Amino acid sequence: MLRQSEHSLRQNSAFSEELSTNSSLQRNMPARRKTAKSASSSFWMKSLGHLLAISCLCGVISGFSDRDRAHDLMFMYPLIDGHNDLALQLRILHNNRLSQIDLHDIHKVATDITRLQEGRVQALMFAVYVLCGAQEKDAVRLTLEQIDVVRRMCTEYSDFELVTSVQELKKSKDRQKIACIISIEGGHSIDSSLPALRMFYQLGVRSMSLTHTCNTPWAESSSKLYSVFQRQNNSLTTFGKAVVEEMNRLGMIVDLSHTSLDTALAVMNHSKAPVIFSHSSSSSICNHSRNVPDSLLHELKKNRGVIMVNLHSNFISCRNDANISNVADHFDHIKSVIGAESIGIGGDFEGAKNFPRGLEDVSKYPALIEELLHRNWTDHEVADVLRRNFQRVFEEVERVRDELKANRPSEVQIPVEEVQNSCRLVLRPPNPRGLPSDQISSSRALQGPRGLLILTTVLLLSRLIMTE
């Protein structure tokens, strides 16, 4: 626009010179004609001046229009962030002692209430995550503790609001609250137990990723970091399918981020409800195992699910350094493959260290939206990405739940040999004397009436022998 303004100035100057030349040639004309010519030239000079001013003004406006549009859109459609690990950092940095911090201003993290409000973030899927090393130990206890800290921070602070349904999510937007949706990150948290899954639902959990960086006994991870539960050609076991079915019945969103490609495909073929990738990007742009290939994107489209683009630099540019343009490349590519109606945003703040320049914390989300608008994304497409796509998936998950409400809770149990967990108790009566199990059963038999008769006989015989 600046070049256009300079061009307009040059044209204006040339036109003035031409008028000046013509004026000198017409000096012998009658005064009336000269006066008319002078008035005409004045009119055109003023008109060109006005056009030049408008041109310059348009240049100024265009420099801010995408930013203004971004903020206006995010005011009407505030963001639903598909993945945030603040709860993990609260454990690491503060041992879950909320009394020692103010969630409006938290140091050493990228997420707090003040920055969420600045970034127009209206809802977050707060990840409840425990390390894979707890899988065969105390994963359930640790998960309960993380659920507790999320519930506390979202009930003790009036800016937050814990939500467990689409209706509550919509109401929280109307009340201008930041909605908290609890999501378990890693199926190892349920210890291969459908009753545990149901109890987590009762506590407010509305989403679960089937794996993290380790396989579970019933699903396969995209990571090779752990060598546990290795299987051949069985990426989703019979029990794994039962987990998906029970999540469908409960109305819990199935999250495929961190799963292997085979597991993700098997789940999409089995699930009755749409699924999400809560924090994954495009492997065509960055060929990382955590990202999603085009072939799987097409399956996601059939499933009516959503991929929520991860902002972690290593998943964006396949290196530690990235910028907003690199992030927007993922959005552009996914849109070209399956359309904007299948995309969301899952920042992964607090779960990773390196984020693109200009997207260092949750307050910077408007800069990403501005970049998409600059790339000619429509307001409708951006509104879908910001919240409407995720909201649609949540609604369809609840619709499937309502369709399955006549189904009884699943009583499927995983075979003991598939769990391979020495810490998993097989229910037996306690053995305080440390006797072998065969002797336990014998001693139990002696506690009945027949056992008492035998014991009395033995005592009598022993006395007779002693008296002799």
Annotated active-site positions, please? 83, 85, 185, 212, 258, 279, 348
Residues shown for the chain:
468
Q: How far, in Å, CA of 197 to CA of 201, rounded?
A: 6
Please give the structure tokens belonging to residue 432.
């305080």
Query: Mutual orientation of helices 294-303 and 261-270 as an angle, nearest 10°?
Result: 20
CA–CA separation, 347 vs 84, rounded Å?
7
N-to-C CA span, the chain: 123
CA distances from 443 to 271, 351, 433, 436, 457 (A): 51, 55, 11, 11, 16
| Residue 121 near residue 162, CB atoms below 8 Å | no
The H or E element spanning position 297 is helix 294-303
* Eight-class DSSP state of 101: -
Q: Which two tokens stand for residue 145?
A: 């503790």
Please say whether the beta carbons of 363 and 115 come within 8 A. yes
User: In the Cβ-directed half-sphere of 264, how many Cα atoms lie within 13 Å?
Assistant: 31
Who's near 226: CB < 8 A, 6+ residues apart? 132, 213, 214, 215
| DSSP secondary structure letter of residue 349 | B
Count other Cβ atoms within 10 Å, centred on residue 216: 29
Q: What's the rounded Cα separation, in Å, for the pair 277 and 389?
A: 12
Six-digit token string for 453:
């008769």
Write the Ramachandran bin of 318: left for phi over 0, alpha for psi from -120 to 50, otherwise beta.
Answer: left
CB 219 within 8 A of CB 240: yes
